[in-house]
Amino acid sequence: MLFLLLLFLFSYSLALEVFSESLERLPDGTIKAVGNVEAYYKNYYIKADLMTYDPERKLVQAEGNVYIRSYDGRLEVRGESAFLDLDKDKGYFIKADGRFEKFYFTAERVDKEGNSYEVREGSITTCPPDRKELLVCFSKAYISERYATGLGSSLRLFKIPVAYTPLVVFPVGDRRSGLLPPTIGSNSYNTFIYKQPIYWVISPDKDATLTLDYRDKQAKGLSLEYRQSLRKELDLTGAFSFYREPVPPGKWWEGRPKETFRENRYRLKFDLDLSELKLGVDTLSDPYFMQDMYFTTRERTIPYLTSYLSYKKEFDWVLFVFDARKFYDTTSPDNKKTLQRLPEVGLYVKDISLPYGFSFNTTFSYANFYREEGQKAQRLLFFPELSLPKRLFGLNLLSTLTIENLFYWDVKGSEATDKSVPISLRYRERLPFFFTHRVGGFQLSHMLELSYSYRPKGFNNPRFDTLDQIDKESTLNYSFLSSGYYEGKQIYSLFIQGGYNHLGSFTYLDQVVKEKLMPVRTLFSLMPTDWFSLSADSTYDPVHSRLLKNVGSSTFKYKQSSLTLSRTYEKSYYGQLINDQYGAVLSTAFSKATLNLGIIRDNRIGKDLQRRIELLYKGACWAFGLLLRDNYDGTRQKYIKEVFLTFNVFDLQRLTVPLKRQEAPLAF
């Protein structure tokens, strides 16, 4: 409601410039302007049918179709009449109707005295003037520069009163502290759930959200999220959630290990980005925190949380990296077997040109792979590499020779007999081909690369990441990349990769396969029209003519409706079924309402993992959402039912704008 304040801000200036059809000075010294009166006063444009100005007493009176607009476009007001006492800084406006920033308002009368305002018989909304579906009406309001306090206020939806309160306080302007729309619901374990976020604007570059979370059966608690912009972008975020679990716990803890139970449950998350230095903490009290405390699928299904300290410094010829990462496995009852990197230090020397077209680079790194239970060790890696691009028989080739040195110590929990790789050689030859075709409005681009990799000897060293895979190698690989465009719009992309192993064995999903012809992986996307798209990630075994993996989806769109069908299928090389799921999502809109239906079916257990119905109705400045969802809990072999209501009144979420860095003034 700060718009009401600005109705009279022009009173601080003494210069008044007036244009009209008729302008005269009356005997008492008053200046009278009649007919299409236009006045320019400080940062405001004023228009009226009649205006009088007493320069001695500094009194301004405007009558008939009074219109005021600020030069910055934030304020626009219409009314019957206005009066201002510039000397005493007081006045009034009759039958005001206008806009301030995103707020539209009406008022029978506004009285101003200093920086205090009294508004009678008014209303406020963020709905546009032609669709005032939701209003707050009040009999009287007192306004300051940041808040408006209303007396005898009622909330009206389509002019029908739906709520009444004798006292209400509104934040005004773009970004103000206050209550955000709540979430109300229930599930199989709670008959009543209520989450109330409270938004706090600390300064232009800092804000926070405190969320109170009440559940009548499960844990009750709160969460606090803090955000700060250190530069132009958002660089600092911190969140802490704390919940108190009843003792003993209820049915929601059945089937879980008793040692994982915590009466005091928490999550601590903190991220700091200082460009070269990045720091983050994300840890939990127990592995079931995400599943119990969050309602969105995205948060519930996070497999790992990561705490990290990372520093990266790049020079003209070298790149230095320090990285320490600790992972929290949310899929395991404990975190003892999770592999950690505490720390990993790397030094990469960029390509250095040598005589005769050669170039040289090297990678040097130290890593401490740690876990409480399982294989762990410290590793020192030194990979100098020599490369030579050349042209032979009209073909462009790139030869690389890598000297691989790996040293391990403090190795524990490993069955590997060779603890170090003192020296190993890997030779690779690459031959790329590029093709481009244009046919009418079509443009097709292709890239085919043939490569050969050779390593004369393999080592039974510990394996922590791909750099430890020092195996005997003699492999011919191929990769094909193709993309097509029609009149500048991409219509498909295709990537194919495969190979032939002369040694007669390779590794697929950590299994050693005694074959020469390797699986073929294909990534394919097709989007020929606006109403249809298809994507697939598949792996095919050409030896036994069988599909090992397929993750694909197809989307069909028609007007305001869309249907997405998905399929996830994966087996090990020897036929063990790993994943077999179907999914379907239907979304359709009816005028202002949107309906979403979704299902995920797991064929291995013959159960629907999730079934959901979501209805969203969006008005001119408000929205109402209803979510019905069934999640299958494999531990208890039962469905967890959930019902949630969401509200967005006056688009309050939209009014919490991104943070802005508050720059310090220059000093000279």
Q: Which of 174-183, 436-445, 598-607 has the highest mean pLDDT?
A: 598-607
Extended beta strands in 216-302, E state: 220-228, 236-244, 264-274, 277-284
Extended beta strands in 440-560, E state: 442-455, 473-486, 489-501, 506-508, 511-513, 520-529, 532-541, 546-558
What integer pLDDT is reported at residue 173 of this predicted model?
57
- What is the identity of the amino acid at 55? P
What integer pLDDT is reported at residue 15 of this predicted model?
61
pLDDT tens, 78-121?
889 988 787 777 878 899 888 877 778 888 988 877 667 787 88
Strand partners, 629: 612, 642
List CB contacts of 250: < 8 A, sequence separation 6 or more. Answer: 189, 217, 218
Q: At 1, is the pLDDT very low, low, confident or very high (cuts 50, 70, 90)?
A: very low
What integer pLDDT is reported at residue 659 of this predicted model?
63
What integer pLDDT is reported at residue 567 of this predicted model?
96
Q: For residue 128, say if its preceding peptide bond is cis, omega within 30 degrees of 0.
A: no
What six digits make up the tokens of 131?
């669709």
CA dist 424 and 426 (Å) reads: 7
Q: Which of 6-15, 26-35, 143-152, 432-441 has the lowest mean pLDDT?
A: 6-15
CA dist 121 and 110 (Å) reads: 9
pLDDT tens, 586-623?
999 988 899 999 999 999 999 999 999 999 999 888 88
CA angle 165, 170, 173 (to 5 degrees): 160
For residue 11, pLDDT beyond 60: no
CA dist 621 and 181 (Å) reads: 13
Residue at token pair 């042209």: 391
For residue 161, pLDDT beyond 90: no
Across residues 299-307, what is the average pLDDT? 92
For residue 322, pLDDT beyond 80: yes
Q: Which of 56-60, 93-97, 583-587 has the lowest mean pLDDT?
A: 56-60
Residue at token pair 């229930």: 186
How big is the chain by its Cα radius of gyration, in Å? 34
List CB contacts of 374: < 8 A, sequence separation 6 or more. Answer: 337, 339, 413
List CB contacts of 458: < 8 A, sequence separation 6 or more. Answer: 470, 471, 472, 473
Higher-scoring residue by pLDDT: 657, 642: 642
CA dist 1 and 123 (Å) reads: 10
Residue at token pair 């031959």: 431
What integer pLDDT is reported at residue 9 of this predicted model?
34
Q: Which of 136-145, 333-342, 501-510 has the lowest mean pLDDT?
A: 136-145
CA dist 276 and 92 (Å) reads: 57
For residue 239, pLDDT beyond 90: yes
List CB contacts of 288: < 8 A, sequence separation 6 or more. Answer: 256, 260
Please name the helix (run of DSSP H) or strand (run of DSSP E) that holds residue 2, with its range, or none.
helix 2-6
Across residues 279-290, what is the average pLDDT? 94
213 closest CA partner among 248, 239, 250, 183? 183
What integer pLDDT is reported at residue 382 of this predicted model?
95
What integer pLDDT is reported at residue 668 of this predicted model?
28
Q: Checking phi first, is residue 454 left (phi over 0); if not, alpha (psi -120 to 50) or beta?
A: beta
List CB contacts of 6: < 8 A, sequence separation 6 or more. Answer: 70, 74, 75, 100
Across residues 468-497, what is the average pLDDT? 94
CA dist 490 and 442 (Å) reads: 10
Q: Which of 51-55, 117-121, 476-480, 639-643 has the highest mean pLDDT?
A: 476-480
Mean pLDDT of the chain: 87
511 closest CA partner among 438, 593, 572? 572
Distance of CA 126 to the CA centre of its chain: 25
What integer pLDDT is reported at residue 441 of this predicted model?
86
Across residues 650-663, what is the average pLDDT? 60
Q: Checking phi first, is residue 627 left (phi over 0); if not, alpha (psi -120 to 50) or beta?
A: beta
Domains of the chain: 2-173 (2.60.450.10)
Q: Are 151 and 171 in contact (CB under 8 A)?
A: no
Q: At 8, is the pLDDT very low, low, confident or very high (cuts 50, 70, 90)?
A: very low
Q: Are 142 and 153 in contact (CB under 8 A)?
A: no
List CB contacts of 655: < 8 A, sequence separation 6 or more. Answer: 102, 126, 174, 175, 176
For residue 421, pLDDT beyond 70: yes
What six digits make up the tokens of 405?
């040195």
Burial of residue 75 (number of CB atoms within 10 Å: 0-12, 13-18, 19+): buried
By percentage, how much of the chain surpasses pLDDT 70? 92
Start-to-end CA distance of the chain, whole Å, equals: 39
By percentage, how much of the chain surpasses pLDDT 90? 53
What integer pLDDT is reported at residue 308 of this predicted model?
96
- CA distances to 22, 52, 620 from 84, rounded to whole Å, are 22, 11, 35
What integer pLDDT is reported at residue 146 of this predicted model?
67
CA angle 184, 188, 189 (to 5 degrees): 85
Across residues 269-279, what is the average pLDDT? 91
612 closest CA partner among 590, 591, 583? 583
Q: What is the DSSP string of 3-57?
A: HHHHTTGGGG----EEE-SEEEE-TTS-EEEEEEEEEEETTEEEEEEEEEEETTT
37 closest CA partner among 68, 76, 10? 68
For residue 5, pLDDT beyond 50: no
For residue 658, pLDDT beyond 80: no
What integer pLDDT is reported at residue 145 of this predicted model?
63
What six digits make up the tokens of 284?
């939990």
554 closest CA partner among 538, 539, 536, 530? 536
What integer pLDDT is reported at residue 655 of this predicted model?
59
Q: Are 187 and 195 in contact (CB under 8 A)?
A: no
Strand partners, 626: 615, 645
Extended beta strands in 354-505, E state: 359-370, 376-392, 395-412, 421-439, 442-455, 473-486, 489-501
What integer pLDDT is reported at residue 524 of this predicted model?
97
Q: Which of 10-24, 63-77, 404-418, 580-594 has the highest mean pLDDT?
A: 580-594
Residue 387, SS3? strand
For residue 125, pLDDT beyond 70: yes
Q: At 180, is the pLDDT very low, low, confident or very high (cuts 50, 70, 90)?
A: confident
Q: Which of 110-114, 153-157, 473-477, 633-637 has the highest mean pLDDT?
A: 473-477
- From the DSSP assignment, how many helices (H) and strands (E) are in the chain? 3, 41
Q: Within 383-508, where are the H helices?
A: none
